[in-house]
Amino acid sequence: MISNGERKFFYGYVVVFAAFFILIATWGTAYSFGVFFKPVLTEFGWTRAAISGASSLFFLLLGLFAAIAGKLSDRFGPKIVVTACGLLVGSGYLLMSQISAIWQLYLYYGVILAIGASGIYVPLASMIARWFVKRRGLVTGIALSGISVGTMIIPPVANWLITDYGWRVAYLVIGIAVLVLITSAAQFLRYEPSRMGQLPYGENQAKPESVNSKTKGFSLQETIHTRQFWIIGAMFFCFGVSAQTIFVHIVPHTTDIGISATSAANILAIIGAAGAAGRIIIGGVADRIGNKLALIAIFILLSIGLFWLLAANNIRAFYLFAVVFGLAYGGWAALISVVVAELFGLSSLGVILGVVLIGVATGEATGPVLAGRIFDITGSYQPAFIICAALSMIAIVLALFLRPITEVRAKQ
């Protein structure tokens, strides 16, 4: 076994680089749904709640299948799982270019794409946690910044394709690009350092008092009996509602008040850029101040952004919102796997992370369709944004009750 101190190239950097590009392709396209919202609405005349329902089904099944993907990744490794799921994601977008009925939207986007995307985040995040002990938050943030870079690049590209060639061609191009990129990059993934004859980065320098060193043996059954598991689930549910309401409805909302489709797509791009910075900055900060304080800071940022959104009425105000929201979203995404690894250990990280994400997915499924229904009834998104802001405040309170897992276990 080769230690980190020797000169052999550490393969963990390849793993991070591959994960970065896979996440660009997967989530940059997923967060472009709002750009396609009005073109689809215009062509078919479906209600906003009906179209939003496809996104809600996507995130609901994403969370349910993420637990299965985590289990499969723990057993077969991320290379096989991500390759198979990349084929599904690419195929889902190709099929989206052919929809002509509402049931096809739900099947292709809400089911096929959800199953494919469910096998991307969990295997990658749990894999990176196995490769890095020291600077785990920073490295995870760098890899997961691919989500934000994708959000920064793909929505404006999708808007350009829609404007010049139509939304069907846009989905066709996206499907081909996603299929090739994900399946190619997945071939460089490796489950853990021992399979490459290496040790996790910083393992010999890990602090003996670290929380994770005390909790290496938690199974899923043990985990779900802890208070922390339910606190995290509720906290992430709140975030999920707010995040996906924004990603699905911010473009329709801004175009409703007279802002151009190009400028509206740029809001998503700015969220992506700020999210990339948030993943790296907050991931690094969390390594210094601890995950709990970092989470509290993230939810405070989210609250500020959502309250600002309630008063925003011009493109500059929306761009400022995008910066604040993007920083919060990026930092939160960087800490999901890190928090779970710290509290519950690495032995069953894939499946535990997948189950935790059910809470996120439930929120992500609830937010868009609720906001769409509220708009259909009231003609405004303001009530939906108020609900999101209230939930972000609740998440701050929940984060205050997060304690080390050893304290909770001792009370059982």
Q: What is the pLDDT of residues 58-75, one digit of tens each?
A: 988 887 887 788 778 878
Q: Are 366 and 262 in contact (CB under 8 A)?
A: no
Residues 272 and 275: their CA atoms lie apart, in Å, by 5
Cα–Cα distance between 234 and 399 in angstroms, integer?
A: 10
The top-level CATH class assigned to 12-410 is mainly alpha
Q: Which residue, among 160, 139, 116, 124, has the nearest Cα to 21 in the 3D structure?
A: 124
Put simply, whether the predicted model's pTM sits higher than 0.75 gets the answer: no
Residue 164's pLDDT band (boundaries 50, 70, 90)? very high
pLDDT, tens digit (0-9, with 9 covering 90-100), for 176-186: 999 999 999 99
What pLDDT score was predicted for residue 211?
39
Q: What is the token pair recorded at 68?
A: 């299965």
How far apart CA 317 and CA 207 sit, in angstroms, is: 44
| Tens-place pLDDT, residues 370-391 | 999 999 999 999 999 999 999 9
Q: How far apart are CA 157 and CA 32, in angstroms?
A: 10
Amino acid identity at 369: V
User: For residue 371, what are its two tokens?
Assistant: 């906001």
Task: For residues 46 and 67, give the distance between their C-alpha atoms in angstroms, rounded to a whole number.
Answer: 32
Task: Give the C-alpha separation, 405 to 186, whole Å.
Answer: 33
Domain ranges, ordered by start, for the chain: 12-410
Are 167 and 40 a contacting pair, CB within 8 Å? yes
Angle at 318 between CA 316 and CA 322, to 5 degrees: 115
Compute the average pLDDT of residues 268-283.
83
Q: Is the pLDDT of residue 395 over 80?
A: yes
CA-to-CA separations, 231 to 67, 170, 219, 250, 329, in angstroms, rounded: 18, 40, 18, 28, 19
- Identify which of 64-78, 155-169, 229-243 has the greatest average pLDDT: 155-169
Which residues face 201 on adjacent strands?
132
Predicted local distance difference test score (pLDDT) of residue 102 = 95
Q: What is the pLDDT of residue 212?
A: 42
Residue 159 confidence (pLDDT): 92
3-state DSSP helix/strand/coil % of the chain, to nearest 5: 80, 0, 15
Whole-angstrom distance, CA of residue 56 vs CA of residue 363: 9
